[in-house]
Structure 1
Amino acid sequence: MTLDYSPYLRGSIAAVLSVLQHSTCPENTVFHFLATPHHHPHLHKTIQSTFPYLHFHLYPFDPTTVNHLISSSIRHALDQPLNYARIYLADLLPTAITRIIYLDSDLIVVDDISNLWKINLNSHVLGAPEYCHANFSHYFTNKFWSNHFFSSTFKNRNPCYFNTGVMVIDLIKWREFNFTKKLEYWMRIQKRHRIYELGSLPPFLLVFAGNVEGVEHRWNQHGLGGDNIEGLCRDLHPGPVSLLHWSGKGKPWLRLDAKRACTLDNMWAPYDLLRHQSLFSDS
């Protein structure tokens, strides 16, 4: 998980609390946080004072690692370097760490996270809920689909959309096959040819879609923040729920503060430990 000295920290704290509250053995859960170095002292103090007994590690993520590879997208928040930090997890975490669950900051877990941890990835590097009914072509520009060299990357694959806010990752395989470089390759292509519009998601689709270990949809009830333009209220997808994810523009802390909460935002509110702290502006 990333930590940012911004309103998103409220989301991260809420996510951590939700994991702890629903874990059968919370003392066995180790959190690995990525943050920009100059925010480390404040963030470390905040985490330690909020969760005195939390087993956690805080790793520095240098924005210059990825700044030169970022292209503007349809929403400014998607262009922040920390949004791309997930690409570098295998490089930033110690090699002794061989498996992780990556979680975004705008979600809560309402089930025992160990059930997600224990899934069998089989031969895959990455596990996530897949949504094969989604129109996959919408995630890339016409320029991408009309260029045989680009579009042929999906040859012999059956690519499905998956959301990168919840992923189980085999770091051994990631490091062995250097998937960081594969993702950076497509980001460089994007800088020259503008083949997508949506932040850090498309490179993951280009590299992994069709080669993902499918996880039950209950582990990422995503889209609760609406789309990336208006962020309107949305309902849950049909079926059981283990994780609620406010991907999209509308974040529960902003809507609650503005007294314009959606119904599901009230499920996030009990985990909002920083709601009484005026630490941030919403600019």
Structure 2
Amino acid sequence: MVHFRLHAGVLFFTVVVLFPLLCSGIRSIPSREGNSGAVEVLNEYRFAEAPEYRNGRECPVLTTNGRLVSSCDPSLVHIAMTLDSEYLRGSIAAVHSVLKHASCPESIFFHFIAAEFDPASPRVLSQLVRSTFPSLNFKVYIFREDTVINLISSSIRQALENPLNYARNYLGDMLDLCVDRVIYLDSDVVVVDDIHKLWTTKLSGARVIGAPEYCHTNLTKYFTDVFWSDPAMSGTFTSARKKPCYFNTGVMVMDLVRWREGNYRGRIEKWMEVQRKSRIYELGSLPPFLLVFAGDVEAMDHRWNQHGLGGDNVRGTCRPLHPGPVSLLHWSGKGKPWVRLDAKRPCKVDHLWEPYDLYIRNNIGYHYSRNDHHHSS
């Protein structure tokens, strides 16, 4: 069993709620894998209100406008996540885990990216977040799916074609210009360490993103023969400044100033356009990131992305934890812990996600109490 330590500085806190910024959006695509399931979740579950966590004396004093915390406060830790009905349970658990283990939880600002035509509207999703975390600092942005819908190619799994998977490409455009750095997290993670440690990752030189790298992974399997047989395309990796290594885009530290200045959105879109014409990869939003950044990523400790816990993209079979310390658990792959737990077919690692789950299933009489979770003081 893996044991996690709570940071000694974690305290109960009250944060000010920011009403969501609702930008214009456009159509979504139907999913063969679970929009009906998302509606069922919203109908059958409700969230328990999370405990409140407060900053300690060592935490910075926040800049406020009345009672609202400004997203431009330079002392804030910024986290971006997508927000949709199908993965809402995972998103709430992820937020809960971040707050529970943070040394200065009041100094965290969440940027949620939602699709306008999700079965649950962005306004409804925002209200659910607010009712679960009444004093959370956050904004909700509506992702304009028309920006990317015509660039998306079919993938090995329908869920990977969801336009919201590509929202991370547009954070530099959507977030306030005063936000110059952000941590991007997928919705199927839990953080079991102080997020401030990840936030302070130094991006050396002109590097734009930081992520754990896996240099033993064979990149050949991520791209088709069409790609490898074309010297101009495959040369993208052979001409890299250092050996290109695989990295998972579900956990990244991003320098948004360098991202905007370097037009990295455009660089990623260029490869997506090539994919539409030549079919150079089979997965969804990951390969364009590999093509643009592999060989130029700030390597972070592997403890910050224990990924693959959801199994492979076809069967979603159980996988154990990798050896070594753990700061973040990531259920990438087909299997999600809340689905397997509800089906009473959990993997062992799914029980590590369960303490952060704030859903209540009314029809089985489960009730969450604040006393169910223990906090350091």
TM-score interval (norm. to shorter)? over 0.9
Number of aligned residue pairs: give it: 277
* 1:197 corresponds to: 282
Are 1:2 and 2:87 counterparts?
no
CA distance in structure 2 between the partners assigned to 1:276 and 1:220 by the alignment:
30
* 1:19 corresponds to: 98
CA distance in structure 2 between the partners assigned to 1:153 and 1:270 by the alignment:
43
* 2:160 corresponds to: 78
What letter corresponds to residue 9 of structure 1 in structure 2? Answer: L
Q: Which of the residues 211, 228, 235 maps onto 2:320?
A: 235
* 1:1-283 equivalence runs, <5 A: 1-6=81-86, 8-38=87-117, 39-123=121-205, 124-157=207-240, 158-276=243-361
Work out whether residues 10 and 275 of structure 1, in 8 Å CA contact, stay in contact via their aligned partners in 2: no
| TM-score after normalising by structure 1 | 0.96
3-state secondary structure, aligned to 1:130: strand
Partner deviation per Cα, 1:113-151 (whole Å, 9 max, x = no partner): 000000111121000000000111111011100011111
Distance 1:154 1:277, change over 3 A: farther
Partner deviation per Cα, 1:192-213 (whole Å, 9 max, x = no partner): 0000000000000000000000
3-state secondary structure, aligned to 2:172: helix
Work out whether residues 108 and 268 of structure 1, in 8 Å CA contact, stay in contact via their aligned partners in 2: yes
CA distance in structure 2 between the partners assigned to 1:168 and 1:222 by the alignment:
16
RMSD across aligned C-alpha pairs, in angstroms? 1.0
Which structure has more helix as a fraction of its residues? 1
Kindly state the Cα deviation for residue 156 of structure 1 after the two structures are TM-superposed: 2.5
Same amino acid, percent of matched pairs: 62
Distance 1:233 1:275, change over 3 A: farther
CA distance in structure 2 between the partners assigned to 1:4 and 1:107 by the alignment:
15
3-state secondary structure, aligned to 2:82: coil
Structure whose CA Rg is larger: 2
What letter corresponds to residue 141 of structure 1 in structure 2? Answer: T
| TM-score after normalising by structure 2 | 0.72
What letter corresponds to residue 41 of structure 1 in structure 2? Answer: R
Kindly state the Cα deviation for residue 238 of structure 1 after the two structures are TM-superposed: 1.1
Kindly state the Cα deviation for residue 277 of structure 1 after the two structures are TM-superposed: 6.2
Moved over 4 A (4+): none
What letter corresponds to residue 156 of structure 1 in structure 2? Answer: S
Partner deviation per Cα, 1:211-259 (whole Å, 9 max, x = no partner): 0000000000000001001000001111100000000000001100111
3-state secondary structure, aligned to 1:2: strand
CA distance in structure 2 between the partners assigned to 1:265 and 1:47 by the alignment:
23
3-state secondary structure, aligned to 1:47: helix
CA distance in structure 2 between the partners assigned to 1:82 and 1:250 by the alignment:
19
Work out whether residues 34 and 61 of structure 1, in 8 Å CA contact, stay in contact via their aligned partners in 2: yes
* 1:281 corresponds to: none
CA distance in structure 1 between the partners assigned to 2:212 and 2:126 by the alignment:
32
